[in-house]
Structure 1
Amino acid sequence: MKIGTVEISSKLALAPMAGVTDAAFRQICAENGAGYTCTELISSKALCYGDKKTQALLAPFPGERPFAVQIFGSDPSCMAEAAQIAVELSGADIVDINMGCPVGKVVKNGDGSALMKDPEKAARIAEAVVRSSPVPVTAKIRRGWDMGNLNAVEVARLLEQAGVSAIAVHGRTRVQMYGGQADWNSIREVKEAVSVPVIANGDIFKPEDAVRILERTGADMAMIGRGCFGNPWLFTQAKALLEGLPLPPLPPLDERCDTVVRQIELSAAARGERTAVLEARRHYCWYLKGIPHAGYYKEQIVRMNTLEDVYTVTKGIKRDLK
Protein backbone atom coordinates (compact mmCIF):
# COMPACT_ATOMS: atom_id res chain seq x y z
CA MET A 1 0.00 0.00 0.00
CA LYS A 2 0.92 3.65 -0.28
CA ILE A 3 0.25 6.48 2.13
CA GLY A 4 0.37 9.37 -0.26
CA THR A 5 3.72 8.95 -1.97
CA VAL A 6 5.18 6.78 0.81
CA GLU A 7 5.45 3.07 0.08
CA ILE A 8 4.49 0.79 3.00
CA SER A 9 5.62 -2.78 2.44
CA SER A 10 4.09 -4.25 5.61
CA LYS A 11 0.60 -5.01 6.91
CA LEU A 12 1.66 -4.48 10.54
CA ALA A 13 1.90 -1.12 12.28
CA LEU A 14 2.90 -0.20 15.82
CA ALA A 15 0.29 2.08 17.40
CA PRO A 16 1.51 5.39 18.85
CA MET A 17 1.15 5.20 22.63
CA ALA A 18 2.05 7.89 25.18
CA GLY A 19 4.90 6.89 27.47
CA VAL A 20 5.42 3.63 25.60
CA THR A 21 6.49 4.08 21.98
CA ASP A 22 9.75 5.94 22.46
CA ALA A 23 12.46 5.40 19.86
CA ALA A 24 13.96 2.45 21.76
CA PHE A 25 10.73 0.46 21.91
CA ARG A 26 9.91 1.34 18.30
CA GLN A 27 13.31 -0.02 17.26
CA ILE A 28 12.74 -3.31 19.11
CA CYS A 29 9.28 -3.70 17.52
CA ALA A 30 10.59 -2.82 14.06
CA GLU A 31 13.32 -5.44 14.36
CA ASN A 32 10.61 -7.97 15.16
CA GLY A 33 8.32 -7.19 12.24
CA ALA A 34 6.54 -3.86 12.79
CA GLY A 35 6.76 -2.37 9.30
CA TYR A 36 5.33 1.03 10.16
CA THR A 37 6.16 3.00 13.31
CA CYS A 38 5.06 6.30 14.80
CA THR A 39 6.08 8.49 17.71
CA GLU A 40 3.90 8.81 20.76
CA LEU A 41 1.43 11.70 20.63
CA ILE A 42 3.19 15.07 20.74
CA SER A 43 1.63 18.36 21.78
CA SER A 44 1.30 20.86 18.95
CA LYS A 45 1.32 23.73 21.44
CA ALA A 46 4.56 22.52 23.01
CA LEU A 47 6.17 22.33 19.56
CA CYS A 48 4.97 25.81 18.68
CA TYR A 49 6.39 27.12 21.98
CA GLY A 50 9.75 25.46 21.26
CA ASP A 51 9.72 23.10 24.26
CA LYS A 52 12.99 21.11 24.19
CA LYS A 53 11.66 18.02 25.99
CA THR A 54 8.83 17.77 23.48
CA GLN A 55 11.21 18.20 20.57
CA ALA A 56 13.27 15.28 21.90
CA LEU A 57 10.27 12.97 21.41
CA LEU A 58 10.53 13.53 17.66
CA ALA A 59 13.87 11.76 17.29
CA PRO A 60 13.74 8.60 15.15
CA PHE A 61 15.87 5.56 15.82
CA PRO A 62 18.70 5.03 13.30
CA GLY A 63 17.27 3.97 9.96
CA GLU A 64 13.63 4.32 11.02
CA ARG A 65 11.74 4.20 7.72
CA PRO A 66 8.94 4.72 7.00
CA PHE A 67 8.63 6.97 10.04
CA ALA A 68 5.60 8.94 11.22
CA VAL A 69 5.21 11.63 13.87
CA GLN A 70 1.89 12.07 15.63
CA ILE A 71 0.72 15.49 16.81
CA PHE A 72 -2.36 16.46 18.80
CA GLY A 73 -4.22 19.69 19.35
CA SER A 74 -7.39 21.52 18.39
CA ASP A 75 -6.17 24.83 17.01
CA PRO A 76 -5.86 24.58 13.21
CA SER A 77 -3.12 27.19 12.83
CA CYS A 78 -1.03 25.76 15.68
CA MET A 79 -1.45 22.23 14.32
CA ALA A 80 -0.37 23.43 10.87
CA GLU A 81 2.74 25.09 12.30
CA ALA A 82 3.50 22.06 14.50
CA ALA A 83 3.37 19.75 11.47
CA GLN A 84 6.03 21.82 9.73
CA ILE A 85 8.21 21.92 12.85
CA ALA A 86 7.84 18.18 13.42
CA VAL A 87 8.92 17.27 9.89
CA GLU A 88 11.78 19.77 9.89
CA LEU A 89 13.20 18.46 13.19
CA SER A 90 12.61 14.74 12.63
CA GLY A 91 12.76 14.17 8.88
CA ALA A 92 9.51 12.20 9.21
CA ASP A 93 7.90 10.64 6.15
CA ILE A 94 4.34 11.14 7.43
CA VAL A 95 2.46 13.37 9.89
CA ASP A 96 -0.39 11.74 11.83
CA ILE A 97 -3.15 13.72 13.56
CA ASN A 98 -4.38 12.27 16.86
CA MET A 99 -8.17 12.35 16.98
CA GLY A 100 -8.50 9.23 19.11
CA CYS A 101 -6.75 9.70 22.46
CA PRO A 102 -9.40 9.22 25.19
CA VAL A 103 -7.33 10.39 28.19
CA GLY A 104 -9.03 13.04 30.30
CA LYS A 105 -6.25 15.64 30.33
CA VAL A 106 -6.16 15.55 26.52
CA VAL A 107 -9.92 15.50 25.95
CA LYS A 108 -10.69 18.31 28.42
CA ASN A 109 -8.81 20.75 26.17
CA GLY A 110 -10.85 19.69 23.14
CA ASP A 111 -7.98 17.58 21.75
CA GLY A 112 -7.73 13.88 20.87
CA SER A 113 -11.04 12.04 20.72
CA ALA A 114 -12.93 15.20 21.74
CA LEU A 115 -12.69 16.08 18.04
CA MET A 116 -15.07 13.18 17.30
CA LYS A 117 -17.79 15.43 18.79
CA ASP A 118 -17.06 18.16 16.23
CA PRO A 119 -16.49 16.59 12.79
CA GLU A 120 -16.40 19.97 11.02
CA LYS A 121 -13.62 21.19 13.29
CA ALA A 122 -11.75 17.91 12.82
CA ALA A 123 -11.93 18.48 9.08
CA ARG A 124 -10.70 22.08 9.39
CA ILE A 125 -7.70 20.91 11.40
CA ALA A 126 -6.93 18.19 8.87
CA GLU A 127 -7.21 20.64 6.00
CA ALA A 128 -4.85 23.11 7.69
CA VAL A 129 -2.28 20.39 8.41
CA VAL A 130 -2.51 18.94 4.89
CA ARG A 131 -2.02 22.40 3.40
CA SER A 132 1.10 23.12 5.47
CA SER A 133 2.75 19.71 5.69
CA PRO A 134 5.53 18.85 3.22
CA VAL A 135 4.73 15.13 3.67
CA PRO A 136 1.51 13.06 3.53
CA VAL A 137 -0.91 13.46 6.44
CA THR A 138 -2.93 10.73 8.16
CA ALA A 139 -5.39 10.73 11.05
CA LYS A 140 -6.29 8.30 13.84
CA ILE A 141 -9.90 8.31 14.98
CA ARG A 142 -12.29 6.26 17.12
CA ARG A 143 -15.65 4.65 16.48
CA GLY A 144 -17.24 7.76 17.94
CA TRP A 145 -17.60 9.66 21.20
CA ASP A 146 -20.21 7.35 22.74
CA MET A 147 -22.85 4.84 21.66
CA GLY A 148 -25.20 7.70 20.81
CA ASN A 149 -22.63 9.25 18.48
CA LEU A 150 -21.12 6.54 16.30
CA ASN A 151 -19.83 8.83 13.57
CA ALA A 152 -16.55 7.27 12.41
CA VAL A 153 -17.83 7.03 8.82
CA GLU A 154 -18.90 10.68 8.75
CA VAL A 155 -15.59 11.86 10.22
CA ALA A 156 -13.57 9.62 7.89
CA ARG A 157 -15.35 10.99 4.80
CA LEU A 158 -14.70 14.57 5.91
CA LEU A 159 -11.04 13.79 6.58
CA GLU A 160 -10.67 12.23 3.14
CA GLN A 161 -12.21 15.35 1.59
CA ALA A 162 -9.75 17.44 3.62
CA GLY A 163 -6.88 15.60 1.96
CA VAL A 164 -5.62 13.02 4.46
CA SER A 165 -3.83 10.08 2.84
CA ALA A 166 -4.86 7.31 5.27
CA ILE A 167 -7.11 6.83 8.29
CA ALA A 168 -6.52 4.58 11.32
CA VAL A 169 -9.68 3.55 13.19
CA HIS A 170 -9.84 2.26 16.77
CA GLY A 171 -13.04 0.26 17.11
CA ARG A 172 -14.04 1.71 20.49
CA THR A 173 -15.83 4.90 21.50
CA ARG A 174 -14.13 7.46 23.70
CA VAL A 175 -16.46 6.59 26.58
CA GLN A 176 -15.30 2.96 26.38
CA MET A 177 -11.68 4.11 26.80
CA TYR A 178 -9.93 0.72 26.57
CA GLY A 179 -12.69 -1.36 28.16
CA GLY A 180 -15.25 -3.63 26.58
CA GLN A 181 -14.70 -4.98 23.10
CA ALA A 182 -13.54 -3.20 19.96
CA ASP A 183 -16.14 -3.24 17.20
CA TRP A 184 -14.34 -4.33 14.05
CA ASN A 185 -17.51 -3.92 11.97
CA SER A 186 -17.24 -0.15 12.44
CA ILE A 187 -13.76 -0.29 10.91
CA ARG A 188 -15.12 -2.21 7.93
CA GLU A 189 -17.81 0.47 7.46
CA VAL A 190 -15.09 3.12 7.27
CA LYS A 191 -13.11 1.02 4.81
CA GLU A 192 -16.18 0.73 2.58
CA ALA A 193 -16.88 4.47 2.80
CA VAL A 194 -13.49 5.93 1.79
CA SER A 195 -10.95 5.29 -0.94
CA VAL A 196 -7.79 6.07 1.07
CA PRO A 197 -6.05 3.25 2.97
CA VAL A 198 -7.60 2.28 6.31
CA ILE A 199 -5.64 0.94 9.28
CA ALA A 200 -7.51 -1.30 11.74
CA ASN A 201 -6.81 -0.93 15.48
CA GLY A 202 -8.25 -2.54 18.59
CA ASP A 203 -8.03 -5.91 20.39
CA ILE A 204 -5.03 -7.42 18.61
CA PHE A 205 -3.61 -9.44 21.47
CA LYS A 206 -2.70 -12.67 19.68
CA PRO A 207 -1.09 -13.20 16.27
CA GLU A 208 -4.33 -14.74 15.03
CA ASP A 209 -6.12 -11.48 15.87
CA ALA A 210 -4.05 -9.61 13.27
CA VAL A 211 -5.16 -12.05 10.59
CA ARG A 212 -8.80 -11.90 11.72
CA ILE A 213 -9.02 -8.11 11.91
CA LEU A 214 -7.76 -7.75 8.35
CA GLU A 215 -10.15 -10.43 7.08
CA ARG A 216 -13.13 -8.95 8.98
CA THR A 217 -12.54 -5.32 8.07
CA GLY A 218 -10.84 -5.46 4.68
CA ALA A 219 -8.39 -2.90 6.09
CA ASP A 220 -4.99 -2.33 4.51
CA MET A 221 -2.99 -2.68 7.70
CA ALA A 222 -3.38 -3.95 11.28
CA MET A 223 -2.18 -1.60 14.03
CA ILE A 224 -1.04 -3.31 17.24
CA GLY A 225 -1.20 -1.39 20.52
CA ARG A 226 -1.41 -2.80 24.05
CA GLY A 227 -0.98 -6.38 22.79
CA CYS A 228 2.75 -5.80 22.26
CA PHE A 229 3.44 -4.49 25.78
CA GLY A 230 6.40 -6.62 26.80
CA ASN A 231 5.86 -8.76 23.71
CA PRO A 232 7.40 -7.31 20.54
CA TRP A 233 7.41 -10.89 19.21
CA LEU A 234 3.69 -10.48 18.57
CA PHE A 235 4.80 -8.76 15.35
CA THR A 236 7.07 -11.68 14.44
CA GLN A 237 4.28 -14.17 15.00
CA ALA A 238 1.59 -12.13 13.23
CA LYS A 239 3.91 -11.54 10.26
CA ALA A 240 4.49 -15.28 9.95
CA LEU A 241 0.77 -16.06 9.94
CA LEU A 242 0.04 -13.33 7.39
CA GLU A 243 2.69 -14.86 5.14
CA GLY A 244 1.22 -18.35 5.55
CA LEU A 245 4.18 -19.59 7.58
CA PRO A 246 4.13 -21.71 10.77
CA LEU A 247 3.67 -19.83 14.04
CA PRO A 248 7.11 -19.28 15.63
CA PRO A 249 7.33 -19.83 19.40
CA LEU A 250 8.14 -17.07 21.85
CA PRO A 251 11.85 -16.85 22.64
CA PRO A 252 13.06 -18.42 25.91
CA LEU A 253 13.06 -16.24 29.02
CA ASP A 254 16.80 -15.51 28.83
CA GLU A 255 16.40 -14.04 25.36
CA ARG A 256 13.37 -12.00 26.41
CA CYS A 257 15.39 -10.56 29.29
CA ASP A 258 18.24 -9.70 26.93
CA THR A 259 15.76 -7.88 24.70
CA VAL A 260 14.33 -5.70 27.46
CA VAL A 261 17.84 -4.91 28.72
CA ARG A 262 18.84 -3.83 25.22
CA GLN A 263 15.68 -1.69 25.00
CA ILE A 264 16.63 0.05 28.25
CA GLU A 265 20.22 0.56 27.06
CA LEU A 266 19.00 2.10 23.80
CA SER A 267 16.70 4.42 25.73
CA ALA A 268 19.50 5.38 28.14
CA ALA A 269 21.80 6.27 25.24
CA ALA A 270 19.15 8.59 23.83
CA ARG A 271 17.55 10.04 26.95
CA GLY A 272 19.92 9.51 29.86
CA GLU A 273 20.24 6.61 32.30
CA ARG A 274 17.96 7.92 35.08
CA THR A 275 14.99 8.73 32.83
CA ALA A 276 15.35 5.53 30.85
CA VAL A 277 15.47 3.25 33.87
CA LEU A 278 12.54 4.93 35.62
CA GLU A 279 10.37 4.67 32.52
CA ALA A 280 11.54 1.10 31.89
CA ARG A 281 10.24 -0.22 35.19
CA ARG A 282 6.78 -0.94 33.83
CA HIS A 283 8.19 -2.21 30.54
CA TYR A 284 10.28 -4.81 32.37
CA CYS A 285 7.24 -5.91 34.38
CA TRP A 286 5.29 -6.33 31.12
CA TYR A 287 8.03 -8.60 29.77
CA LEU A 288 7.52 -10.88 32.82
CA LYS A 289 3.77 -11.20 32.37
CA GLY A 290 2.73 -14.83 32.69
CA ILE A 291 6.08 -15.94 34.12
CA PRO A 292 5.47 -18.07 37.25
CA HIS A 293 6.85 -16.78 40.56
CA ALA A 294 7.89 -13.42 39.06
CA GLY A 295 6.33 -11.37 41.87
CA TYR A 296 9.55 -11.01 43.88
CA TYR A 297 11.46 -9.69 40.89
CA LYS A 298 8.68 -7.30 39.90
CA GLU A 299 9.11 -5.78 43.37
CA GLN A 300 12.82 -5.38 42.62
CA ILE A 301 12.11 -3.92 39.17
CA VAL A 302 9.95 -1.08 40.48
CA ARG A 303 12.90 0.00 42.64
CA MET A 304 15.49 0.08 39.83
CA ASN A 305 17.29 3.41 39.39
CA THR A 306 20.47 2.62 37.44
CA LEU A 307 21.59 0.33 34.63
CA GLU A 308 23.57 -1.59 37.24
CA ASP A 309 20.27 -2.27 39.02
CA VAL A 310 18.87 -3.52 35.70
CA TYR A 311 21.79 -5.92 35.22
CA THR A 312 21.54 -7.22 38.81
CA VAL A 313 17.80 -7.88 38.56
CA THR A 314 18.23 -9.54 35.18
CA LYS A 315 20.94 -11.86 36.50
CA GLY A 316 18.60 -12.97 39.28
CA ILE A 317 15.68 -13.53 36.93
CA LYS A 318 17.77 -15.66 34.57
CA ARG A 319 19.06 -17.71 37.53
CA ASP A 320 15.79 -18.23 39.38
CA LEU A 321 12.88 -18.11 36.93
CA LYS A 322 13.95 -20.49 34.15
Structure 2
Amino acid sequence: MTLQHFYPVGTPGQPWGAAEKAEWRARQRKQRSYADDVVSAIDRLRECFDVSEYARLDESPDGVYPLFALRSRDWNDALPIALVTGGVHGYETSGVHGALQFLDRHAQDYAGRVNLLVVPCVSPWAYERINRWNPDAIDPNRSFHPDSPCAESAALLELVAPLRGRFLMHIDLHETTDSDESEFRPALAARDGAPFEPGTIPDGFYLCADSANPQPGFQQAVNAAVEKVTHIAPADPDGTIIGSPVVAPGVIEYPLLELGLCASITDARYTTTTEVYPDSPRASPAQCNDAQVAAIRGALDYALAHP
Protein backbone atom coordinates (compact mmCIF):
# COMPACT_ATOMS: atom_id res chain seq x y z
CA MET A 1 0.00 0.00 0.00
CA THR A 2 1.27 3.48 -0.85
CA LEU A 3 0.78 6.14 1.80
CA GLN A 4 1.22 9.90 1.78
CA HIS A 5 3.81 10.39 4.51
CA PHE A 6 4.44 13.78 6.03
CA TYR A 7 8.07 14.91 5.99
CA PRO A 8 8.91 18.34 7.42
CA VAL A 9 10.85 19.56 4.37
CA GLY A 10 9.37 20.27 0.96
CA THR A 11 5.95 19.97 -0.61
CA PRO A 12 4.44 16.49 -1.04
CA GLY A 13 4.74 15.31 -4.62
CA GLN A 14 7.37 17.88 -5.60
CA PRO A 15 11.09 17.05 -5.80
CA TRP A 16 13.38 19.22 -3.73
CA GLY A 17 15.25 22.12 -5.23
CA ALA A 18 18.17 24.05 -3.79
CA ALA A 19 16.00 25.78 -1.16
CA GLU A 20 14.61 22.53 0.21
CA LYS A 21 18.05 20.93 0.32
CA ALA A 22 19.38 23.96 2.19
CA GLU A 23 16.48 23.72 4.63
CA TRP A 24 17.16 20.03 5.14
CA ARG A 25 20.84 20.69 5.81
CA ALA A 26 20.03 23.44 8.29
CA ARG A 27 18.00 20.92 10.30
CA GLN A 28 20.97 18.58 10.75
CA ARG A 29 22.79 18.94 14.07
CA LYS A 30 26.18 17.65 15.09
CA GLN A 31 25.64 14.85 17.61
CA ARG A 32 29.11 13.33 17.95
CA SER A 33 32.71 14.07 17.01
CA TYR A 34 34.55 12.54 14.08
CA ALA A 35 37.82 13.88 15.51
CA ASP A 36 37.26 12.38 18.95
CA ASP A 37 35.70 9.08 17.89
CA VAL A 38 37.47 8.22 14.65
CA VAL A 39 40.56 10.36 14.01
CA SER A 40 41.88 9.75 17.52
CA ALA A 41 41.50 5.99 17.02
CA ILE A 42 43.31 6.22 13.67
CA ASP A 43 46.13 8.18 15.32
CA ARG A 44 46.61 5.35 17.84
CA LEU A 45 47.09 2.94 14.92
CA ARG A 46 49.83 4.92 13.21
CA GLU A 47 52.58 2.84 14.82
CA CYS A 48 51.32 -0.29 13.05
CA PHE A 49 49.88 1.03 9.76
CA ASP A 50 50.71 3.54 7.09
CA VAL A 51 48.07 6.26 7.38
CA SER A 52 47.37 8.63 4.52
CA GLU A 53 44.95 11.51 4.08
CA TYR A 54 43.46 10.69 0.70
CA ALA A 55 41.14 13.71 0.51
CA ARG A 56 39.95 16.70 2.50
CA LEU A 57 36.34 17.87 2.33
CA ASP A 58 35.47 21.48 3.06
CA GLU A 59 31.91 21.39 4.37
CA SER A 60 31.73 25.03 5.48
CA PRO A 61 30.25 26.26 7.72
CA ASP A 62 30.35 22.88 9.45
CA GLY A 63 34.09 22.34 9.16
CA VAL A 64 36.82 20.64 7.14
CA TYR A 65 37.00 16.85 7.23
CA PRO A 66 40.16 14.90 6.37
CA LEU A 67 39.54 11.43 4.94
CA PHE A 68 41.95 8.69 5.99
CA ALA A 69 43.06 5.34 4.59
CA LEU A 70 45.20 2.83 6.46
CA ARG A 71 47.50 0.40 4.68
CA SER A 72 49.54 -2.58 5.75
CA ARG A 73 52.95 -1.43 6.95
CA ASP A 74 54.55 -4.42 5.19
CA TRP A 75 52.86 -3.70 1.83
CA ASN A 76 54.11 -6.17 -0.78
CA ASP A 77 53.24 -5.65 -4.43
CA ALA A 78 53.38 -9.42 -4.97
CA LEU A 79 50.38 -9.92 -2.67
CA PRO A 80 46.69 -9.39 -3.41
CA ILE A 81 44.80 -6.50 -1.86
CA ALA A 82 41.76 -6.60 0.40
CA LEU A 83 39.68 -3.44 0.82
CA VAL A 84 37.54 -2.77 3.90
CA THR A 85 35.26 0.27 3.88
CA GLY A 86 33.02 1.62 6.65
CA GLY A 87 30.92 4.69 7.25
CA VAL A 88 29.76 5.13 3.66
CA HIS A 89 26.52 5.94 5.46
CA GLY A 90 27.74 7.93 8.42
CA TYR A 91 24.92 6.91 10.74
CA GLU A 92 25.78 3.21 10.47
CA THR A 93 28.04 3.23 13.50
CA SER A 94 29.29 -0.35 13.72
CA GLY A 95 30.70 -0.13 10.20
CA VAL A 96 33.09 2.59 11.34
CA HIS A 97 34.00 1.11 14.69
CA GLY A 98 34.05 -2.45 13.44
CA ALA A 99 36.69 -1.49 10.87
CA LEU A 100 38.76 0.25 13.53
CA GLN A 101 38.37 -2.68 15.94
CA PHE A 102 39.53 -5.11 13.26
CA LEU A 103 42.63 -3.01 12.64
CA ASP A 104 43.41 -2.77 16.33
CA ARG A 105 42.89 -6.42 17.28
CA HIS A 106 43.17 -8.67 14.24
CA ALA A 107 44.80 -7.08 11.21
CA GLN A 108 48.29 -8.23 12.20
CA ASP A 109 47.09 -11.84 11.87
CA TYR A 110 47.10 -11.30 8.09
CA ALA A 111 50.53 -9.69 7.80
CA GLY A 112 52.53 -11.14 4.96
CA ARG A 113 49.47 -12.81 3.42
CA VAL A 114 47.51 -9.90 2.00
CA ASN A 115 47.81 -6.14 1.63
CA LEU A 116 45.09 -4.46 3.69
CA LEU A 117 43.57 -1.14 2.63
CA VAL A 118 41.03 0.09 5.17
CA VAL A 119 38.90 3.25 4.98
CA PRO A 120 37.03 3.34 8.29
CA CYS A 121 34.82 6.39 7.69
CA VAL A 122 33.99 7.44 4.15
CA SER A 123 31.41 10.07 5.22
CA PRO A 124 32.54 12.00 8.32
CA TRP A 125 30.02 14.86 8.06
CA ALA A 126 27.22 12.31 8.09
CA TYR A 127 28.93 10.39 10.91
CA GLU A 128 28.75 13.46 13.12
CA ARG A 129 25.09 14.07 12.28
CA ILE A 130 24.03 10.41 12.38
CA ASN A 131 22.69 10.74 8.87
CA ARG A 132 22.58 8.73 5.66
CA TRP A 133 23.25 11.53 3.19
CA ASN A 134 26.09 13.95 2.64
CA PRO A 135 25.56 17.73 3.11
CA ASP A 136 24.07 18.02 -0.38
CA ALA A 137 21.33 15.47 0.40
CA ILE A 138 23.07 12.87 -1.78
CA ASP A 139 23.30 9.21 -0.80
CA PRO A 140 26.97 8.25 -1.18
CA ASN A 141 26.03 4.61 -1.61
CA ARG A 142 24.15 5.30 -4.80
CA SER A 143 26.89 7.53 -6.17
CA PHE A 144 29.91 5.36 -6.96
CA HIS A 145 30.11 6.03 -10.68
CA PRO A 146 32.22 8.19 -13.02
CA ASP A 147 31.73 11.95 -12.59
CA SER A 148 29.98 11.35 -9.27
CA PRO A 149 28.37 14.47 -7.80
CA CYS A 150 29.08 13.10 -4.32
CA ALA A 151 32.47 14.23 -3.01
CA GLU A 152 32.77 11.33 -0.59
CA SER A 153 32.19 8.76 -3.31
CA ALA A 154 34.43 10.50 -5.84
CA ALA A 155 37.30 10.65 -3.35
CA LEU A 156 37.11 6.93 -2.61
CA LEU A 157 36.93 6.08 -6.31
CA GLU A 158 40.09 8.13 -6.89
CA LEU A 159 41.87 6.35 -4.03
CA VAL A 160 41.05 2.90 -5.39
CA ALA A 161 41.56 3.56 -9.11
CA PRO A 162 45.36 2.99 -9.27
CA LEU A 163 44.96 -0.42 -7.60
CA ARG A 164 42.24 -1.88 -9.81
CA GLY A 165 43.16 -5.32 -11.09
CA ARG A 166 44.89 -6.30 -7.86
CA PHE A 167 41.99 -6.62 -5.44
CA LEU A 168 41.06 -10.05 -4.15
CA MET A 169 38.28 -8.90 -1.84
CA HIS A 170 36.19 -5.89 -0.84
CA ILE A 171 33.85 -5.91 2.14
CA ASP A 172 31.72 -2.80 2.74
CA LEU A 173 30.33 -2.49 6.28
CA HIS A 174 26.77 -1.24 6.75
CA GLU A 175 23.76 -1.36 9.07
CA THR A 176 20.02 -1.55 8.54
CA THR A 177 18.34 0.44 11.32
CA ASP A 178 14.84 1.26 12.50
CA SER A 179 15.56 4.85 11.46
CA ASP A 180 15.70 3.66 7.86
CA GLU A 181 11.95 3.29 8.05
CA SER A 182 11.16 6.21 10.36
CA GLU A 183 13.48 8.85 8.84
CA PHE A 184 15.63 7.99 5.87
CA ARG A 185 13.15 6.32 3.53
CA PRO A 186 10.57 9.05 4.17
CA ALA A 187 13.27 11.66 3.52
CA LEU A 188 14.18 9.93 0.26
CA ALA A 189 10.56 9.94 -0.87
CA ALA A 190 10.19 13.61 0.03
CA ARG A 191 13.43 14.59 -1.71
CA ASP A 192 12.37 12.84 -4.91
CA GLY A 193 8.73 13.98 -4.79
CA ALA A 194 7.58 10.36 -4.56
CA PRO A 195 5.06 8.69 -2.27
CA PHE A 196 6.44 6.89 0.76
CA GLU A 197 5.89 3.15 0.64
CA PRO A 198 6.37 1.50 4.07
CA GLY A 199 8.70 -1.47 4.25
CA THR A 200 10.06 -3.82 6.88
CA ILE A 201 13.28 -3.91 8.87
CA PRO A 202 14.88 -7.37 9.18
CA ASP A 203 15.85 -8.52 12.65
CA GLY A 204 19.40 -9.71 12.28
CA PHE A 205 22.52 -9.71 10.14
CA TYR A 206 22.41 -10.22 6.38
CA LEU A 207 24.56 -9.71 3.29
CA CYS A 208 24.05 -8.04 -0.08
CA ALA A 209 25.95 -9.95 -2.76
CA ASP A 210 26.58 -8.82 -6.32
CA SER A 211 24.02 -10.35 -8.68
CA ALA A 212 26.64 -10.18 -11.45
CA ASN A 213 29.21 -12.07 -9.34
CA PRO A 214 27.42 -13.63 -6.36
CA GLN A 215 30.13 -16.00 -5.04
CA PRO A 216 27.70 -18.00 -2.83
CA GLY A 217 30.43 -19.92 -1.00
CA PHE A 218 32.04 -16.65 0.05
CA GLN A 219 28.74 -15.20 1.28
CA GLN A 220 27.95 -18.34 3.25
CA ALA A 221 31.40 -18.31 4.86
CA VAL A 222 30.93 -14.72 6.03
CA ASN A 223 27.52 -15.51 7.53
CA ALA A 224 28.92 -18.62 9.22
CA ALA A 225 31.56 -16.47 10.92
CA VAL A 226 29.03 -13.84 11.97
CA GLU A 227 26.55 -16.41 13.28
CA LYS A 228 28.97 -17.15 16.11
CA VAL A 229 28.50 -13.54 17.28
CA THR A 230 24.93 -12.54 16.42
CA HIS A 231 21.84 -13.93 14.72
CA ILE A 232 21.26 -14.05 10.97
CA ALA A 233 18.10 -12.31 9.72
CA PRO A 234 15.27 -14.60 8.66
CA ALA A 235 13.38 -13.96 5.47
CA ASP A 236 10.03 -12.19 5.58
CA PRO A 237 6.96 -14.40 4.95
CA ASP A 238 7.21 -13.63 1.23
CA GLY A 239 10.78 -14.95 1.08
CA THR A 240 12.44 -11.53 0.87
CA ILE A 241 14.64 -9.25 2.96
CA ILE A 242 13.95 -5.53 2.41
CA GLY A 243 11.95 -6.54 -0.64
CA SER A 244 14.71 -8.58 -2.34
CA PRO A 245 14.48 -12.36 -2.75
CA VAL A 246 16.58 -14.35 -0.29
CA VAL A 247 18.94 -16.52 -2.35
CA ALA A 248 20.49 -18.27 0.67
CA PRO A 249 19.99 -17.83 4.43
CA GLY A 250 20.81 -14.20 5.18
CA VAL A 251 21.83 -13.35 1.61
CA ILE A 252 20.18 -11.12 -1.00
CA GLU A 253 21.62 -9.83 -4.25
CA TYR A 254 21.84 -6.39 -5.86
CA PRO A 255 23.32 -5.27 -9.19
CA LEU A 256 26.10 -3.38 -7.44
CA LEU A 257 27.59 -1.55 -10.41
CA GLU A 258 24.22 -0.58 -11.87
CA LEU A 259 23.12 0.92 -8.54
CA GLY A 260 26.40 2.75 -7.91
CA LEU A 261 27.05 0.89 -4.65
CA CYS A 262 30.39 1.04 -2.85
CA ALA A 263 31.04 -2.69 -3.14
CA SER A 264 31.23 -2.24 -6.93
CA ILE A 265 34.30 0.01 -6.96
CA THR A 266 36.93 -2.72 -7.31
CA ASP A 267 37.15 -5.60 -9.73
CA ALA A 268 37.66 -7.94 -6.79
CA ARG A 269 36.73 -11.59 -7.09
CA TYR A 270 34.96 -11.48 -3.74
CA THR A 271 32.65 -8.62 -2.74
CA THR A 272 29.86 -8.18 -0.24
CA THR A 273 27.99 -5.58 1.77
CA THR A 274 27.28 -6.36 5.41
CA GLU A 275 24.08 -5.28 7.12
CA VAL A 276 24.05 -5.32 10.93
CA TYR A 277 20.83 -4.62 12.85
CA PRO A 278 21.78 -2.50 15.89
CA ASP A 279 18.19 -1.95 17.07
CA SER A 280 17.55 -5.62 17.79
CA PRO A 281 16.84 -6.44 21.45
CA ARG A 282 19.17 -9.38 20.86
CA ALA A 283 22.22 -7.27 19.91
CA SER A 284 24.32 -4.77 21.88
CA PRO A 285 26.58 -2.08 20.33
CA ALA A 286 29.61 -4.18 21.22
CA GLN A 287 28.01 -7.20 19.59
CA CYS A 288 27.39 -5.18 16.42
CA ASN A 289 31.04 -4.15 16.25
CA ASP A 290 32.05 -7.77 16.87
CA ALA A 291 29.76 -8.91 14.06
CA GLN A 292 31.46 -6.56 11.61
CA VAL A 293 34.86 -7.82 12.73
CA ALA A 294 33.73 -11.44 12.36
CA ALA A 295 32.48 -10.62 8.85
CA ILE A 296 35.84 -9.12 7.85
CA ARG A 297 37.76 -12.08 9.24
CA GLY A 298 35.41 -14.61 7.67
CA ALA A 299 35.70 -12.83 4.33
CA LEU A 300 39.49 -12.68 4.46
CA ASP A 301 39.86 -16.29 5.56
CA TYR A 302 37.68 -17.56 2.73
CA ALA A 303 39.22 -15.32 0.07
CA LEU A 304 42.77 -16.26 1.02
CA ALA A 305 41.85 -19.94 1.01
CA HIS A 306 40.26 -19.59 -2.45
CA PRO A 307 42.44 -17.07 -4.33
Structure 2 length normalisation: TM-score? 0.28
Structure 1 length normalisation: TM-score? 0.27
Of the two structures, which has the highest relative contact order with CA contacts closer than 8 Å and spacing of 6 or more?
Answer: 2
**Greater strand share, 1 or 2?**
2
